Amino acid sequence: MSPIPSLSDHPTTFEVAGARVVSGQFAGIVLVLYRPGSAAVQQLFYDELAAILDRFVVYREPIYLAGDFNIRLDRADDPHAIQFRLPIESYRLQLHNTSSTHRLGGTLDAVISRSDAGCPQTVQTVQVVDVGLSDHHLLQWTINIARQVPCRPWRRLDFDQYRSVLSSSRLCQPDS
């Protein structure tokens, strides 16, 4: 594991930590986020979350964001849940369904991963486990760390063929 240096400018509405995890041929980005439930959800939270996502959706490796968002994600009509889902969907990430994650009920915690076509979609299900240490439950998931085909296999690009196809296309013919 190695820390992610681009988290150095800390957001003010939540805490976040991240690492690049390597195991054998697998490498992925894991971010963990905590938004205090004692603070009201503000627009600044969504702005800071979008800024974090802006940095990490460009990574080629799988991305996993897990956290205590303290937003009732189980309420489809909750304005905060709706506003939370917007950047998740716009970044083509997947919010994984879980059962209740809090002792008093409700889904306040979540696992989010990349869901791009062609990229590894390795989170199948998220298990919620009450380990008795907190009023929030543990989120547990497994991932397939077998070597996956890269999302963009640039190493296999035949530059001569690409140049030939491109030069014969309408893009490179100004009179067309």
Q: Mean pLDDT per segment of 10 residues, for the chain of length 176 residues?
A: 77 92 85 91 93 86 88 90 92 82 79 65 75 82 68 76 85 78
What pLDDT shows up at residue 86? 92
Structure tokens at 125: 């299900």
3-state secondary structure string, 35-84?
CCCCCCCCHHHHHHHHHHHHHHCCCCCCEEEEEECCCCCCCCCCHHHHHH
Domain boundaries, the chain: 2-172
Helix (H, G, I), strand (E, B) or coil at 149: coil
Instruction: Name the architecture of domain 2-172.
Output: 4-Layer Sandwich (3.60)
Q: How far apart are CA 169 and CA 159, in angstroms?
A: 15
Beta strand 15-23 pairing with 109-114: unpaired
pTM as predicted: 0.74
